[in-house]
Structure 1
């Protein structure tokens, strides 16, 4: 199972801090009569970036495969002396065979679950970059020629 972080989250150092808001307060907006607005207040839990990444990885690499196996009722079941473990579905695959209604026989193989997970950070206010002026190219060329 592959977990991909966007460039912002991937660039976080292990000791960088992620804060999760614990309180969402409703405040009266005096500019708009009788309107309340939700306001996020950050006085919540603080986590090191490395801890958050480890927890995310743990959920997707152990908990979800285990739950998936339980739903299929194959978790640690013995069939012909072979124990099915949760990681088999997401690792090497589960040995099986399939009989299609329009075929003449069984087809042997494995069922394997491949999951790609993408985790993103979406800023509330996107970074604004100044668009490049057509004159910037001319300025760079003039500067290069003057050197």
Structure 2
């Protein structure tokens, strides 16, 4: 992402703070998945159609859960492959680079701590 932001991987146990409300990433993703109902799919199909992409599909086909039957012809393949197109939404968090520098400097301090084996090494050296 531009504007001095860097992507950070979100885990299901991470917490997002939207001012007055905080949610675990897992709950946020579940709410998004549940929100993908037929109204959203109808809107998507209409918008695709206005962009010149017309996909004929039977009723109760689901872009987000089950996928839509189609075929693909990839470069180098000898024939079409049957499968499904399924849309997946991911949750991404972009941290400001300034925060990343602070985090990275904190992590470098942690890695410079003594190893638990350092005491053993000193004891062995003292004996020799």
Superposition TM-score, scaled by structure 1 size: 0.38
Highest RCO, 1 vs 2 (Cα 8 Å, sep ≥ 6):
2
Q: Give the strand-richer structure, 1 or 2.
A: 1
Q: Give the helix-richer structure, 1 or 2.
A: 2
